[in-house]
Amino acid sequence: MTLQIGDPAPEFNLLNQDGTGISLSSFQGQRVVIYFYPKDDTPGCTKEACNFRDLWEDFSRHNIQVLGISKDGALSHSKFINKYQLPFPLLSDPEPCLVAAKYESYGLKKFMGREYMGMMRQTFVVDSQGKLELIYRKVKAATMAKQILMDLDLE
């Protein structure tokens, strides 16, 4: 059962970098970008986070909340946010990554001939009614934020 545009976005409640619980439903009435990424402070994940940071004013102006989700813990997220001055929360979805699994963003990956379970780089835009508005299964880390703004005709 693959998630599709128009489906209700799966609800979640995860801890952010400060240990505060954040739920999707707390953003009812505004758009939310949820991006799943493999690991804090790695090259691709840093490019993606910094792309959202660099376009943060555009997202804020249009009342769009950005949430990054990985399996890293609060301390790792806090260091990543401070190092790159990220203006949005990062949420922890620890193994077995139940929220990522709901979004079909956790599964079998292959790298250098090795197979393992891991977080997939995927992005979802949830509309103000809590429904999936855009789904990106293939993400270009360096340009994802700009792509979302273009696809929403906000640029």
- Measured CA to CA, the distance from residue 128 to residue 63 in angstroms comes to 10
Cα separation values, 126 from 9, 64, 65, 146, Å: 7, 9, 10, 16
Which is catalytic among the residues 22, 24, 45, 141?
45
Asked if 45 is an active-site residue, the reply is yes
Q: Which residues contact 29 (CB under 8 A, 6 or more apart)?
A: 128
Extract the tokens encoding 138: 């293939």
Catalytic residues: 45
